[in-house]
Structure 1
Amino acid sequence: MDSSKLRLIASALLIGLCGHAQPASAQFAEKPAEGPTAADKETARNLMDLGRAKFDEGDYEAALDAFQGADKIMGVTSTGLWVGKALEKLGRLVESRDKLLEVARIPQSASESAILREAREEAAALQLDVADRIPELDFVIEGLLEPARPTIRIGESVVPLNTLHLPRKVDPGTHRIVATAPGHFDLKLDVTVAERERQKVTLLFRPNGEPITPPPEPEPDTGPNRGDEGMSGLMITGIVAGSVGAAGLILGAVTGGLSLAKASSAKEGCNDNICPPNPDQESDRDTSVTLAHVSTTGFVIGGVGAAVATVAFVMELTGDDSAETRPDEAIRVTPLFGPGFVGVQGVF
């Protein structure tokens, strides 16, 4: 069981036992984000008009800049669609399809206009056309001596080592490819690829005589080792909470017994709960009520302490040390006392 579930269980136990603690999340709930202001909307309209004018003139860089400004303000399907269109005109097909897919996946609202709905539909159709036009590169690596591992860059992007055997999607145009590997000469070449083209790129490595350092082996994960660290924070929390809980239960049992004894003494000489005036019996009744309140408090504290101790011990046994690595999220329990109630509030 992971720590998030354990924290939920602990919170439920505290709420069930006490019912008086107010969650910290309720005290610090974030206010909902406000939408764009009238000035924001007017700015976005002006940017969209500017962007469409630049788009019609063929100045796609300026159009993209304007459309992106409007999209940052509004973030709706119509602004995102034009960002994707401008990227497509600039030949940045990978980014264009990513943006168009983002627009197509914006959830439809019941109150949205026909313009926003049509923009979503257009983006969904356009991204399919763009996807078919994106070219790809197939890398073939030769001459590489073991245990060297290559690093391949396309422009500024590093190709993940575990994907070198898979086709790599790129924008159409010319790309600078740099390939390096320990103990081998660096390779640099320019590759030009057209739309819809799948091109094979052979990288022929040549040894340079330098020693090849094998990649470091990953260290085995042996789990948390606390043999030399003494008791963890969770263990200490469990022991303290368990001790407090046990003391609370003992207090509740003892004072509960005393309350019953005083109540029995107060009823002596009474007939059908009708008692003659007797200062001693009235004192016993008052003492019985007071002891009953103390007993209830003791049982509540005992139950909470037992619950906290149980959760702490389970988290310790499952190896969850998040409370130790993140002190601000460690388990904390604070008693609450007030007129007519007793409870606790805690952080788990």
Structure 2
Amino acid sequence: MLGSRKLAAVLAAGLLLVSADALAAPSVKEKADAKQLWTKGKQAAARKSWDDAVAAYRSANDLDPKAQYQLDLGRALVEAGALVEAEEVLSGVVETKEPNTQKAKAVAAKLVKDLGTRIPTLKVEVKGDGAAQAKVTVDGNPATPGADIRYDPGKHEIVAKGPNGAEAKDSVSLAEKENATVTLNLVAPVKTDEPKAEESGGGGTMIPAGIAYGVGGAALGVGAALGILAFQKTDEVEELCGGTTCPKEYADEVDTAKDYGTGSTVAFAIGGLGVVAGLILTFTVGMDDSPSSESEEEKKAAKVTPIIGPGFVGISGIY
């Protein structure tokens, strides 16, 4: 009875293993697709389109892993300059359990031996602040400081970062069979206090000149307005009087025309003085390098307002 149970268990285990192998094996379609891709890779290799050949061989091997596909993939990787991956792929061919692959194994073994002398190495040494705890990367991938690591020929970017924020960078171009060493010196960043912005309280100020220009401009505007009114009023009076002598009932009209004329003249005079004063202040106070004692409130409060009324003109301001 016990012997029957053991036999049943062994049969069941065998069935499971067979089922697992059957599931892992590529299908008929996958094998056919893999062969087409392998043929495509050989055509690309004949054209020396090594990147295309690598892609086709890799896809073929993914669908149906075979020693021949791997051997051709390794050869294409060598031609494409990916020596490190080529060595890994060809080493897999040497160690394959696939039957009837003695020839492929022999070719792969010879290529692996050749690559062992061709692949360059790079050692990164780190010195300076925090060198013992520094993290090193080569082409963005972690690297062990002080170790000879094998890389493909070509240019490589090296970065070392210390725990205190120190960082050092360098680049190196490796040739086949080269054993290079790159030393990075970490320097801790210098902490400097940002300079405080100096208060702009000193130097000249254009406020007085601006006020003078404002007074002058406002006065000139008033003078122009009163001048126009004076001309209009004079025309009205001449039309009413009909000559140079006016009746007494038009005396107020005559006086108004005179007042407009006088106001216009005074306003133009004030305007001229304001502009001249503004020019003087611009070249004296405005360009003075001595500290200014004027507060922001005083600067904001300064303003000029023209005043016009019947028979008079003036300017009101806060300085």
TM-score band by shorter chain is 0.5 to 0.7
The code of the aligned residue for 1:129 comes to: D
Q: Distance in 2 between matches of 1:27 and 1:125?
A: 38
Measure how far apart 1:207 and its partner are. Answer: 1.5
Which of 77, 87, 90 is residue 97 of structure 1 equivalent to?
87
The code of the aligned residue for 2:156 comes to: H
Measure how far apart 1:69 and its partner are. Answer: 1.3
Q: Deviations over 1:223-253 (max 9, x none)?
A: xxxxxxxxxxxxxxxxxxxxxxxxxxxxxxx
Q: Distance in 1 between matches of 2:187 and 2:97?
A: 53
The answer on 1:123 being equivalent to 2:108 is: yes
Which of 136, 140, 143 is residue 128 of structure 2 equivalent to?
143
Q: In structure 2, do the counterparts of structure 1 residues 151 and 28 end up closer, same or farther at CA, with 3 Å as the change threshold?
A: farther
Which of 128, 135, 153 is residue 172 of structure 1 equivalent to?
153
The code of the aligned residue for 1:158 comes to: P
The code of the aligned residue for 2:116 comes to: A
Q: Deviations over 1:156-199 (max 9, x none)?
A: 31014xxx222111110001111101114211222111110111
Q: Distance in 2 between matches of 1:64 and 1:36?
A: 21
The code of the aligned residue for 2:125 comes to: V
Q: Distance in 2 between matches of 1:22 and 1:118?
A: 40
The answer to whether the 8 A contact 1:136-1:169 is kept is yes
Q: Distance in 2 between matches of 1:42 and 1:176?
A: 42
The answer on 1:208 being equivalent to 2:189 is: yes
Q: How many residues in Structure 1 have an aligned counterpart in Structure 2?
A: 185
The answer to whether the 8 A contact 1:138-1:199 is kept is yes
Q: In structure 2, do the counterparts of structure 1 residues 138 and 74 end up closer, same or farther at CA, with 3 Å as the change threshold?
A: same
The answer on 1:159 being equivalent to 2:147 is: no
Q: Deviations over 1:146-165 (max 9, x none)?
A: 7x5010001131014xxx22
Any unmatched runs of 5+ in structure 1? 1-14, 211-348
Alignment correspondent of 1:45: 35
User: What is the TM-score of this pair, normalised by structure 1?
Assistant: 0.48
The answer to whether the 8 A contact 2:124-2:184 is kept is yes
* 3-state SS of paired residue (1:139): strand
Alignment correspondent of 1:190: 171
Alignment correspondent of 2:50: 60
Alignment correspondent of 2:21: 33
The answer to whether the 8 A contact 1:78-1:120 is kept is no
Q: After TM superposition, which residue ranges in structure 1, 4 or more long, deviate above 6 angstroms?
A: none
Measure how far apart 1:209 and its partner are. Answer: 4.9
Q: In structure 2, do the counterparts of structure 1 residues 22 and 89 end up closer, same or farther at CA, with 3 Å as the change threshold?
A: closer
The code of the aligned residue for 2:74 comes to: G
Q: Distance in 1 between matches of 2:14 and 2:77?
A: 45
* 3-state SS of paired residue (2:180): strand
Q: Distance in 1 between matches of 2:38 and 2:9?
A: 48
Q: Distance in 1 between matches of 2:130 and 2:162?
A: 9
The code of the aligned residue for 1:173 comes to: G
Q: Distance in 2 between matches of 1:79 and 1:27?
A: 30
Q: Distance in 2 between matches of 1:42 and 1:145?
A: 57
Q: Distance in 1 between matches of 2:121 and 2:148?
A: 6
Supply the RMSD in Å over aligned alpha carbons: 2.9
The code of the aligned residue for 2:138 comes to: I
Q: Kindly report which structure 2 residues correspond to 1:220-259, keeping only aligned pairs within 5 A, or say none.
A: none
User: What is the TM-score of this pair, normalised by structure 2?
Assistant: 0.52
Q: Kindly report which structure 2 residues correspond to 1:283-294, keeping only aligned pairs within 5 A, or say none.
A: none
Q: Kindly report which structure 2 residues correspond to 1:243-322, keeping only aligned pairs within 5 A, or say none.
A: none
Any unmatched runs of 5+ in structure 2? 192-319
Measure how far apart 1:129 and its partner are. Answer: 0.8
Larger Rg: 2
* 3-state SS of paired residue (1:33): helix
The answer to whether the 8 A contact 2:169-2:184 is kept is no
The answer to whether the 8 A contact 1:184-1:209 is kept is no
**Percent identical:** 26
The code of the aligned residue for 1:140 comes to: E
- Larger relative contact order (CA 8 Å, sep ≥ 6): 1
The answer to whether the 8 A contact 1:183-1:209 is kept is no
Alignment correspondent of 1:269: none
Q: In structure 2, do the counterparts of structure 1 residues 26 and 51 end up closer, same or farther at CA, with 3 Å as the change threshold?
A: closer
